């Protein structure tokens, strides 16, 4: 303890000596330091209690849940006629981006459309086939599992329901006659997994929803001579969508890891799919107990590029400072994506619609406002990162805040207590958002009380790289983290499955992030200059 600190402590003690006498006894430098500490302490307390924001009267924007549901339904209707999805680079994604751009135009925004050619797999097969056969009682000179094989048992798996193709899967054509071996390697994350036993075989492994699991397969399967991989989903959505089962889930792979492990490119002849738990176990049982044979025909082109799209609507303000709101409009190929991320895109459109009215009432904003939706998210954040890369200097100089709405949705049946998490990486943004959330909780208590809402400030490095805010945070000039605010919801168990349809859509839950973040954007656009 220093002399100064001892004198400061003494100066605060209650004693019979008069304050005047005490002050006379304390050196001037000690008094100055005490005052500085007092001011600092008051500042800290004021910060923690939102004293700098409590006297701001935020204007909460409106929200129309019927309009949001209509936006969402229209987006879902633009999906693949059989699969429902709006896969990046597909005709469905093109129609979706054109529809979004048309909405921005009708709302009065200046429209723009950026297009980027990026690495993307393309499912060529009209309908892939996967089946197994257990040979029957074979007459002499009759090949197993042929038409003449009396008593042969055949089972065909249903694409999208029993299994789904994974991101950057390659092609395969193997028949019953080839009698391709099947090898069970266990759990993909097992450190003792025997990858060397995969040579010349199709491997079966157990995995969940993490994209890194696919990357592990890509790093080890081709290098060890495996002909392909079948993952069994045994830990995601189990016993929630289908009683006693785990529905197959789509995941991509981490592109950089895939190409680094395969001489700079994605292998074209290594298929990768995920099966439901029940069908995977059925397949393993057939090969364990019987002389089963597999037939697998899958054609995927993953060696080229596809064009993805980024439509934006812009209101040009009095300055070049930028406020941007975004969500990804693409979905996984195998489902309608009502929650992921039709919910986010519909939220962006509703916020843009509300701001169109505000602009008409309030006139030109001080800051420029952009509403954008991203293609290519599900396969590697291609749309947002390409868009950021094309205007790094502009964003580094002018970005005030990017708001990302990715599955900002709580399940219709409020699983996981209807959880919604709003987080950001700068303290002043957090203070304002928390104050607006407090105001919203009082003005819209009926909705607020039905959900578990968390508002928090996180470190820059903890913002994560799994959604479209990543480019805005981590890819700007000089390594200075960009400002971003994100909303994640509990989503739904239907995430990345064929069951992610409008029956699960809960438009009410989107109001919380749209109104809170939209109201903050309104404050930044007109009042905080």
Domain that holds residue 135: 123-301
d(CA 352, CA 325): 9
Domain end marker among 301, 335, 352: 301
d(CA 375, CA 96): 10
Are residues 169 and 89 part of one domain?
no
pLDDT of residue 88: 93
pLDDT of residue 431: 97
Give, for all 529 residues of the chain, the pLDDT tens digit.
Answer: 333 233 322 332 233 233 333 334 445 544 444 444 444 443 443 344 455 566 788 999 999 999 999 999 999 999 998 888 999 999 999 999 999 999 999 999 999 999 999 988 888 876 899 999 999 876 666 788 988 888 889 999 999 999 999 988 999 999 999 999 999 999 988 888 999 999 999 999 998 777 788 889 999 999 999 999 999 999 888 988 899 999 999 988 788 888 888 888 888 899 999 999 999 999 999 998 778 999 999 999 887 789 999 999 999 999 999 999 999 999 998 899 999 999 999 999 999 999 999 999 999 999 999 999 999 999 889 999 999 999 999 999 999 999 999 999 998 676 666 899 999 999 999 999 999 999 999 999 999 999 999 999 999 999 999 899 999 999 999 889 999 999 999 877 888 999 999 988 999 999 999 999 999 999 999 987 6
Are residues 486 and 337 part of one domain?
yes
**59 pairs with which residues across the strands?**
none
Are residues 287 and 172 part of one domain?
yes
Are residues 272 and 159 part of one domain?
yes
Any domain includes 348? yes
Residue 173 is encoded by which pair of tokens? 């054509």
Any domain includes 335? yes
For position 432, which CATH number holds?
3.40.630.10
For position 220, which CATH number holds?
3.50.30.30
Domain end marker among 273, 301, 329: 301
Q: Measuring CA to CA, how many Å separate 95 from each of 74, 89, 101, 361?
A: 11, 10, 10, 32
**368 pairs with which residues across the strands?**
322
Q: What is the number of domains present in the chain?
A: 3
pLDDT of residue 27: 53
Are residues 285 and 204 part of one domain?
yes
Are residues 462 and 415 part of one domain?
yes
Instruction: Choose among 371, 393, 401, 382: nearest CA to 476.
Output: 393
pLDDT of residue 36: 46
Are residues 184 and 284 part of one domain?
yes
Return the H-helix or E-strand segment holding 131: strand 129-134
pLDDT of residue 42: 38
Burial 487-504 (b: 16+ CB within 10 A, else e): bbbbbbbbbbbbbbbbeb
**164 pairs with which residues across the strands?**
274
Any domain includes 307? no
Are residues 36 and 115 part of one domain?
no
Instruction: Choose among 57, 73, 18: nearest CA to 336.
Output: 73
Strand ordering across the sheet containing 110-119 = 110-119, 305-315, 368-374, 322-328, 399-405, 484-489, 419-424, 452-457
Are residues 359 and 394 part of one domain?
yes
d(CA 472, CA 482): 6
Q: What is the dihedral of CA 377, 383, 385, 388, to 10 degrees?
A: -140
d(CA 482, CA 429): 12
Any domain includes 344? yes
pTM, 2 dp: 0.86
Any domain includes 54? no
Any domain includes 55? no
pLDDT of residue 49: 44
Are residues 162 and 292 part of one domain?
yes
Any domain includes 452? yes
- Sheet strands (E) in 192-329: 202-207, 228-233, 272-275, 293-298, 300-301, 305-315, 322-328
Any domain includes 132? yes
Instruction: Choose among 247, 261, 181: nearest CA to 217.
Output: 261
Q: How far apart are the first and last CA of the chain?
A: 45
**231 pairs with which residues across the strands?**
205, 274
Contact 194, 182 (CB under 8 A): no
Are residues 455 and 398 part of one domain?
yes
Q: Which residue has the tokens 């028949």?
A: 175
Are residues 418 and 522 part of one domain?
yes
Q: Distance from CA of residue 282 to its chain's centroid?
A: 32
């Amino acid at each position: 303890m220093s002399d100064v600190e001892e004198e400061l402590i003494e100066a605060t003690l209650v004693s019979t000596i008069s304050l005047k006498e005490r002050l006379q006894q304390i050196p001037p430098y000690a008094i100055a330091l005490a005052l500085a500490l007092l001011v600092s302490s008051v500042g800290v307390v004021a910060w923690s209690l939102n004293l700098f924001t409590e006297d701001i009267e935020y204007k909460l924007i409106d929200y129309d849940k019927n309009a949001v549901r209509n936006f969402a339904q229209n987006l879902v209707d633009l999906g693949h006629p059989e699969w429902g999805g709006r896969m990046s680079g597909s005709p469905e994604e093109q129609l979706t981006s054109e529809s979004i751009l048309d909405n921005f135009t009708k709302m009065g925004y200046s429209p723009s459309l950026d297009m980027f050619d990026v690495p993307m797999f393309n499912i060529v097969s009209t309908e892939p086939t996967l089946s197994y056969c257990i040979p029957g009682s074979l007459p002499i000179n009759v090949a197993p599992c042929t038409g003449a094989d009396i008593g042969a048992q055949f089972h065909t798996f249903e694409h999208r329901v029993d299994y789904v193709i994974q991101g950057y899967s390659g092609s395969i054509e193997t028949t019953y006659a080839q009698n391709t071996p099947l090898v069970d390697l266990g759990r993909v994350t097992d450190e003792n997994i025997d990858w060397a036993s995969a040579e010349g075989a199709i491997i079966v492994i157990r995995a969940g929803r993490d994209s890194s699991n696919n990357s592990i397969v890509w790093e080890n399967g081709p290098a060890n001579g495996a002909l392909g991989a079948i993952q069994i989903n045994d830990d995601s959505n189990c016993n929630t969508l289908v009683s006693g089962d785990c529905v197959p889930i789509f995941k991509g792979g981490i592109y950089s890891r895939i190409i680094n492990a395969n001489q700079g490119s994605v292998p074209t002849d290594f298929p990768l799919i995920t099966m439901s738990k029940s069908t995977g176990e059925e397949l393993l049982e057939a090969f364990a107990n019987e002389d089963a044979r597999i037939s697998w025909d899958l054609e995927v082109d993953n060696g080229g590029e596809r064009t993805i799209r980024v439509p934006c609507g812009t209101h040009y303000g009095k300055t070049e400072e930028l406020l941007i709101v975004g969500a990804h409009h693409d979905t996984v190929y195998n489902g309608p994506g009502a929650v992921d991320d039709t919910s986010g895109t519909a939220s962006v459109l509703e916020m843009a619609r509300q701001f169109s009215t505000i602009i008409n009432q309030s006139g030109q904003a001080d800051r420029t406002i952009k509403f954008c939706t991203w293609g290519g998210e599900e396969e590697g954040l291609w749309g947002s990162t390409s868009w950021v890369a094309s205007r790094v200097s502009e964003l580094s100089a002018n970005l005030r805040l990017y708001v990302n709405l990715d599955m900002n949705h709580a399940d219709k049946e409020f699983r996981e207590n209807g959880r919604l998490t709003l987080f950001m990486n700068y303290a002043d943004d957090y203070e304002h958002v928390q104050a607006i959330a407090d105001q919203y909780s009082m003005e819209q208590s009926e909705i607020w009380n039905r959900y578990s809402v968390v508002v928090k400030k996180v470190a820059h490095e903890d913002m994560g790289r799994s959604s479209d805010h990543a480019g805005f945070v981590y890819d700007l000039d000089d390594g200075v983290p960009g400002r971003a605010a994100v909303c994640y919801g509990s989503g739904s168990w239907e995430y990345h499955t064929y069951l992610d349809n409008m029956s699960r859509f809960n438009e009410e839950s989107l109001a919380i992030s749209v109104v809170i973040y939209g109201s903050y954007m309104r404050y930044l656009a007109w009042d905080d200059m």
